[in-house]
Amino acid sequence: MKVKSCFGPNFKEYEIGEIVFLGKKHPLKLSCGVEISNFPIAYQAYGTLNEDRSNAILICHALTGDQYVASTHPITQKNGWWDFMIGENKTIDTKKYFVICSNILGGCMGSFGPKTIDEKTSKPYGINFPVITIQDMVHAQNLLIEHFGINKLHAVIGGSTGGMQVLAWSTLYPNKVKLLIPIATSYRHSPQNIAFHEVGRQAIMADSNWCEGDYIDQKKFPVRGLSLARMTAHITYLCESALQRKFGRDLNNKNSFSFNFDCEFQVENYLHHQGSRFVERFDPNSYLFITKAVDYFDLESDYLGNLSNAFVEFSKNKEGKFCLISCLDDWLFPTQESKKITKALSTCSINTSSVVISSNNGHDSFLIENEMLKNTIHGFINQN
């Protein structure tokens, strides 16, 4: 089933791919206590599921990513965000694997999120959407793979927020997965990262066009707030050296300062560009709910301060293996956090590999084509 949804300040309509309604038989109980049923999850699938349904790979997208992992994005018309990784004869070969990527719970690309119409009020949920967690997203993904009749996933792969989902898979469904690849992620969102998220949320909520979350109904859109949130976040996705290399102190097509507050430096230009592109495709309320879900993520405290306890159940899965990938100059999820996960997994005697990718693009390294990254993932999922 395909549906349409409106995006951006002009509420332009786009068709947003495959949607399936889940939780029909049994409602899904969210971490906050609210039960949801018959809710939509949008997904894209590539390749063919084999007869014994053992070749499925689930890709978990990042904070503001979506299910268009390897197909043209309906709004931006750009290639999928991991187009270099997934496809025929690519690193994750869709001739061999059945690759699924679903829009996370709380997202705005067709899955159950704040933009979904509440049947009781006939208006979008908006700020009344239930507060979700990473674990809730994983429960929804599990319903999706059950919908496909898949008992065990060959692999679950995801970066950043997607990596948190991968970790949550190992704790919630330890026997339904074989290979896990969390990339550029952490077992918990650090105070510094929560701080950056809060700046983003406050930017959205301080925009008068946010209308207490009711902007869709009032035909307004918090353009400035949402783009400011994106600009702040984008600083954290790169790193000092990448900013220096890409922009330096270069000015936009001129040689001298203009002594005003125009967008003068190239780095400013870059951030403005990122902000304005983002508002075309993302829902402000979704941003609030998803960032909150990420902030709540803390496997260590879930398991009473001992991270290795989180993986005790997974250690009983004899086929289960981890490959952690982190990026050398990522300051959002530094390699030390990945190493802490490696240590916890090793403590549980889980087959664990870890790789540090020496790309110089900061946190976003995993979204940029990189031989090391491709070789690592290819080797791990195709191991004999």
**Range in contact with another protein (rule: CB under 8 A) among 165-173, 221-229, 260-268, 342-350:** 342-350
> Smallest Cα–Cα separation from 90: which of 384, 375, 380, 383?
375
Residue 347 contacts another protein per CB under 8 A = yes
Site residues for another protein, 94-113, by CB under 8 A, read none
Pick between residue 16 and residue 373 the one whose CB is nearest to another protein: 373
What is the rounded distance in angstroms from the CA atom of residue 317 to the CA atom of residue 174? Answer: 7
Assess contact for 72 and 55: CB atoms under 8 A: no
Cα 61 to Cα 309: distance, rounded to the nearest angstrom:
26
- From the list 3-11, 212-220, 292-300, 352-360, the region that binds another protein by CB under 8 A is 352-360
Nearer residue to another protein within complex by CB, 238 or 341:
341
Active site (annotated) includes residue 330: yes
β pairing state of 39-46 and 12-22: antiparallel
> Could you tell me where the DSSP H helices lie in 105-216?
134-147, 161-172, 191-206
The minimum distance between CB 367 and another protein, in angstroms, equals 19
Instruction: Give me 352's structure tokens.
Output: 């664990």
Q: Active-site residue 378, yes or no?
A: no
If one asks whether residue 355 binds another protein (CB under 8 A), the answer comes out as: yes
Residues 6+ apart with CB under 8 A from 271: 231, 234, 235
Q: Tell me which residues in 363-382 interact with another protein (CB under 8 A).
A: 372, 375-376, 378-380, 382
CB of 341 to another protein, least distance (A): 11
Opening angle at CA 89, ends 54 and 103, nearest 5? 60
Among all chains, which residue has been given the structure tokens 């109904």? 217
Half-sphere exposure of 277 (CA within 13 A, CB side): 12
Q: Looking at 160, 170, 326, 365, which residue is catalytic?
A: 160
Q: Residues in the chain, how many?
A: 384
Position among 153, 294, 323, 332 found at the interface with another protein (CB under 8 A) = 323
Which of 209, 353 has the CB closer to another protein?
Answer: 353
194 binds another protein (CB under 8 A): no
Categorise residue 184: left if φ over 0, alpha if ψ from -120 to 50, beta otherwise. Answer: left
Per CB under 8 A, the list member of 321, 334, 363, 367 interacting with another protein is: 321
Residues taking part in catalysis? 160, 330, 363
Interface with another protein by CB under 8 A: which residues?
A: 321, 323, 339, 342-343, 346-347, 349, 351-358, 372, 375-376, 378-380, 382-384
